[in-house]
Structure 1
Amino acid sequence: MKNAVLVFFSLFLLQGFSQSVDTFFSKTDAFFKANVKNGLVDYSGIKENPGELNSILDLAKSIRISKDDTKAFQAFWINGYNLHVIKGIIDNYPVKSPLDINGFFDKTKRDIGGIQITLNDIENKLLRENFSHEARFHFVLVCAGLGCPPIIDGAYSPSKLEAQLQKQTELALNNPNFIKVKGKKVLVSQIFEWYKVDFTQDGKDEIQFINQFRNEKLDTKAKLGYYPYDWTLNTVR
């Protein structure tokens, strides 16, 4: 009888956890659909009505997903990063750039997933360190600057994550404003400079990495350079 009660209680807790995770993804999806337009965020609208964002982040505080559940873990923390970037901007809005907020990425700790963690540590310790071969993270983590690839109007979900990572990477690397071809020279985002190690694995160089996702391949002998990162706020205008 005792064993039956324990099994029932465990199933009850598991069902409750599953519902919380499903609710997080569904509410996050609705939030981004309502507040993202053409890759830009309606910060002023969210500032006026922050209730839904706060509700999602309150829910996310207690969600714990094992990194062994790879796609769910990755999707949760990608969404969590993007949501907390928006929360950080809203808490300081109006602001012209995330860099105007002291310690925005590396000092301020966010309450999510049962831990207190900075945005940099979500990116570097939870995602990049645990999944070191997944360079496509750089095209879905959005830092609130126009230099970042655009934020999508929906949530990243475990069942769609592979396709979403691929799509966003292809969109960025085929965008002439992100990969700038100037004759024999190719100018790329400073993301490729800051995270060079991610794009030069398995003997590849940056151009070889980029060409995996491009329709029109770059000249493999082109000279590579980096254009300045635009930290202007990615706000709806």
Structure 2
Amino acid sequence: MTRCFRLLLPIAIVGALVANSSGEAFAWATDYNRLLGKYAGANGVRYADWKNNGADVQTLQKVVDAIAAENINSLGQKEQLAFYVNAYNAWILHEALAKYPTSSVKDALFTFFTSKRIKVAGQQTSFNALEKETIRSKFNDPRIHFALNCASRSCPPLNTEAFTGEKLDGQFEKLAKNFVNSEKGVRMAEEKSGVELSKIFDWYKDDFKDGGPLQFINKR
């Protein structure tokens, strides 16, 4: 199943890790953080402004080129998960920006997520495969559903900073709490007799173990 129904239209390759004051990060994370801080926000991604800045378009290209060539074999589990979520989101941004100003890819939705159009850590893959076979299958953390962004109005908003292994648990928990306490996550039903949950809790209900989606929500 794809993660969305509508797109919002809206370096030389570096393989080494660098350390900074916020913990471990890839060398490209500095550029990626700058782009997120500049163009991503609570109201979505400012694709029009980004598209009009050729230098920043090229910077994003360098980021995904570095992601494509990265070697993560020596990383711990949290660092690998942070890398893969960053990779998914960065490639979504790249592909959405390339299609802008097209307002919808509804007709091409299946191939957008299933075609092997992206490269991550040396592997040619698709968005669906990266999500299902790597991020969900290997790491088994339901909070990833609030960290992955598919450029859809119904998706959780894009995080405005890159994920890092050191900060990952706090970042994931903050995003999960924000989503379940928003109208996108949980809202009163029109007849006022109950609540309506985001489709995320239906599509991926098996990921929410230990009580299911409702217990996950109630804990937050």
Relative to the length of structure 1, the TM-score reads 0.76
- Based on CA coordinates, which of the two structures has the bigger radius of gyration? 1
* Alpha-carbon shift at residue 68 of structure 1 (Å): 6.0
Name the CA distance, whole Å, in 2 between partners of 1:142 and 1:209: 20
In the TM superposition, structure 1's runs of 4+ consecutive aligned residues that sit over 6 Å from their partners are none
Q: Does 1:24 align with 2:24?
A: no
Determine the structure 2 residue equivalent to 1:167.
174
> Secondary structure at the residue paired with 1:175?
coil
Structure 2, unaligned runs of 5 or more: 1-14, 20-24
Amino acid at match of 1:35: Y
* Alpha-carbon shift at residue 67 of structure 1 (Å): 8.2
Q: Does 1:189 align with 2:198?
A: yes
Amino acid at match of 2:86: N
Deviations along 1:56-95, one digit per CA (max 9) or x if unpaired, are 1111121121386111111111111111111111222212
Determine the structure 2 residue equivalent to 1:124.
132
**Does the CA contact (< 8 Å) of 2:92 and 2:151 recur in 1?**
yes
**Does the CA contact (< 8 Å) of 1:29 and 1:154 recur in 2?**
yes
Q: How many residues align?
A: 196
Q: 1:71 aligns with which of 67, 78, 83?
A: 78
Determine the structure 1 residue equivalent to 2:63.
56
RMSD: 2.1
Determine the structure 1 residue equivalent to 2:113.
105
Deviations along 1:130-169, one digit per CA (max 9) or x if unpaired, are 012x000000100100100111221112211110000000
Q: 1:42 aligns with which of 22, 42, 46?
A: 46
* Alpha-carbon shift at residue 19 of structure 1 (Å): 3.7
* Alpha-carbon shift at residue 42 of structure 1 (Å): 1.4
Name the CA distance, whole Å, in 2 between partners of 1:147 and 1:97: 14
* Alpha-carbon shift at residue 39 of structure 1 (Å): 4.3
**Does the CA contact (< 8 Å) of 1:39 and 1:151 recur in 2?**
no
Structure 1, unaligned runs of 5 or more: 1-15, 214-237
* Identical columns (%): 28
> Secondary structure at the residue paired with 1:95?
coil
Name the CA distance, whole Å, in 2 between partners of 1:75 and 1:97: 29
Deviations along 1:191-211, one digit per CA (max 9) or x if unpaired, are 111111012x23x13211211
**Does the CA contact (< 8 Å) of 2:41 and 2:157 recur in 1?**
no
Determine the structure 2 residue equivalent to 1:216.
none
* Alpha-carbon shift at residue 185 of structure 1 (Å): 1.4
